[in-house]
Amino acid sequence: MGVGNRMKKQGPPPPLDESLVTRKRKNAPIQSNDNVKKRRTSAGRGEKSIKDVANRPGRSKLQESAKDSVANGRQTQAQGAKGRSKPKGGAKSHVRITAPVAEDVEDDSDLASDDADGIDDPDVMEDPLEGVIAGLDALDSDSADSLELGDDEFAASGSDVVDSDEEEQAPRQHSMWSEDEDEDSDAAAEKLTAANIAGLSQRLDESTQQEAREAQAELEDAALQTNIAAELPDSDDDAAGPKALLAPDLQLLRTRITETVRILTDFSKLADPSRSRSSYVSALLNDICVYYGYSPFLAQKLFSLFPPQEALAFFDANESPRPLVLRTNTLRTSRRLLAHALINRGVSLEPVGKWSKVGLQVFESGVPLGATPEYLAGHYILQAASSFLPVMALAPQEGERILDMASAPGGKATYAAALMRNTGCIFANDSNKQRAKALIGNIHRLGVKNTIVCNYSALEFPRVMGGFDRVMLDAPCSGTGVIAKDASVKTNKTEADFLRLPHLQKQLLLAAIDSVDHASKTGGYIVYSTCSVMVEENEQVVQYALNKRPNVRLVSTGLTFGKEGFASFMGKKFHPAMKDTRRYYPHAYNVDGFYVAKLKKIGPTTAGMTKVNESTGAKHVPALVNGGVDADVDKTPVEDEDEDEFGGFNKDEDEVYIERAKKKLLRRKGIDPKADKGAKNGISHGTDEVEKDVSASADIDDEEVPEPSVHVPKDEVAMELADKSSKETAAPELNGVQNTGDHAPGTSTKLRSKKEKRKLNGLGKKKVKSTGK
Ligand X SMILES: C[S@@+](CC[C@H](N)C(=O)[O-])C[C@H]1O[C@@H](n2cnc3c(N)ncnc32)[C@H](O)[C@@H]1O
Residue 131 as a binder of ligand X (CB under 6 A): the answer is: no
454 flagged as catalytic: no
DSSP 525-559: EEEEEES---GGGTHHHHHHHHHH-TTEEEE----
Q: How far is the CB of 639 from ligand X (least distance, A)?
A: 10
Cβ closest to ligand X, residue 405 vs residue 631: 405
| Site track for ligand X across 589-628, x = CB under 6 A | ----------------------------------------
Backbone angles phi, psi at 380, to 5 degrees: -155, 165
Cβ closest to ligand X, residue 597 vs residue 671: 597
State the pairing for strand pair 525-530/470-474: parallel
Residues 628-647 that bind ligand X (CB under 6 A): 640-642
Q: Which stretch binds ligand X (CB under 6 A): 209-217, 443-451, 457-465, 591-599?
A: 457-465
d(CA 48, CA 658): 43
Residue 409 as a binder of ligand X (CB under 6 A): the answer is: yes
Q: Which stretch binds ligand X (CB under 6 A): 189-197, 240-248, 289-297, 399-407?
A: 399-407
Q: How far is the CB of 500 from ligand X (least distance, A)?
A: 11
Residue 430 as a binder of ligand X (CB under 6 A): the answer is: yes
Residue 85 as a binder of ligand X (CB under 6 A): the answer is: no
Among 410, 467, 481, 713, binds ligand X (CB under 6 A): 410
Residue 578 has what DSSP assignment?
Answer: G
Residue 412 as a binder of ligand X (CB under 6 A): the answer is: yes
Q: How far is the CB of 590 from ligand X (least distance, A)?
A: 20
Cβ closest to ligand X, residue 386 vs residue 771: 386
Q: Which stretch binds ligand X (CB under 6 A): 67-75, 296-304, 325-333, 400-408?
A: 400-408
Neighbouring C-alpha atoms within 13 Å toward the C-beta of 729: 25
Cβ closest to ligand X, residue 162 vs residue 458: 458
Among 42, 85, 457, 771, binds ligand X (CB under 6 A): 457
Q: How far is the CB of 436 from ligand X (least distance, A)?
A: 8
Report the SS3 class of residue 348. Answer: strand
Q: How far is the CB of 535 from ligand X (least distance, A)?
A: 18
Q: Which stretch binds ligand X (CB under 6 A): 70-78, 133-141, 210-218, 407-415?
A: 407-415
Residue 408 as a binder of ligand X (CB under 6 A): the answer is: yes
d(CA 37, CA 465): 50
Residue 706 as a binder of ligand X (CB under 6 A): the answer is: no
Which of 425, 454, 477, 531 is catalytic? The answer is 531
State the pairing for strand pair 568-569/525-530: unpaired
d(CA 608, CA 620): 11
Which amino acid appears at position 359 of this protein?
A: G
**What are the CA-CA distances from residue 526 to residues 390, 471, 508, 516, 638 (Å)?**
10, 5, 12, 7, 22
Helix (H) or strand (E) holding 452: strand 451-454
Report the SS3 class of residue 726. Answer: helix
For residue 345, with 0-12 CB atoms within 10 Å meaning exposed, 13-18 middle and 19 or more buried, which class applies?
middle
Residue 407 as a binder of ligand X (CB under 6 A): the answer is: yes
Q: How far is the CB of 275 from ligand X (least distance, A)?
A: 42
Q: How far is the CB of 772 from ligand X (least distance, A)?
A: 28
Residue 406 as a binder of ligand X (CB under 6 A): the answer is: yes
- Cβ pair 429, 404 in contact under 8 A: yes
Residues 458-477 that bind ligand X (CB under 6 A): 458-459, 474, 476
DSSP 250-315: HHHHHHHHHHHHHHHHTHHHHS-TTS-HHHHHHHHHHHHHHHH---HHHHHHHHTTS-HHHHHHHH
Cβ closest to ligand X, residue 263 vs residue 473: 473
Q: Which stretch binds ligand X (CB under 6 A): 202-210, 264-272, 423-431, 647-655?
A: 423-431
Bond preceding residue 409 cis, omega within 30 of 0: yes
Residue 411 as a binder of ligand X (CB under 6 A): the answer is: yes
Residue 432 as a binder of ligand X (CB under 6 A): the answer is: yes
Which amino acid appears at position 340 of this protein?
A: H
Q: How far is the CB of 56 from ligand X (least distance, A)?
A: 20
d(CA 675, CA 410): 46
- Cβ pair 595, 542 in contact under 8 A: no
Residue 740 as a binder of ligand X (CB under 6 A): the answer is: no
Q: Give the 3-state secondary structure of 588-634.
A: HHCCCCEEEEEEEECCCCCHHHHCCECCCCECEEEEECHHHCEEEEE
Q: How far is the CB of 49 from ligand X (least distance, A)?
A: 19
Neighbours of 513 (CB within 10 A): 26
- Cβ pair 443, 451 in contact under 8 A: yes
Cβ closest to ligand X, residue 644 vs residue 652: 644
Query: Residue of minimal CB distance from ligand X?
Result: 406
Number of residues that bind ligand X (CB under 6 A): 22
Q: Smallest Cα–Cα separation from 253: which of 22, 564, 465, 579?
A: 22
Cβ closest to ligand X, residue 97 vs residue 489: 489
Q: Which stretch binds ligand X (CB under 6 A): 57-65, 283-291, 403-411, 552-560?
A: 403-411
Cβ closest to ligand X, residue 192 vs residue 381: 381
Q: Smallest Cα–Cα separation from 449: which of 714, 710, 717?
A: 717
Q: How far is the CB of 316 from ligand X (least distance, A)?
A: 25
Q: Which stretch binds ligand X (CB under 6 A): 132-140, 238-246, 427-435, 537-545?
A: 427-435
Residue 450 as a binder of ligand X (CB under 6 A): the answer is: no
Could you list the residues that contact ligand X (CB under 6 A)?
387, 405-412, 429-432, 435, 457-459, 474, 476, 640-642
Q: What positions carry a catalytic annotation?
A: 531
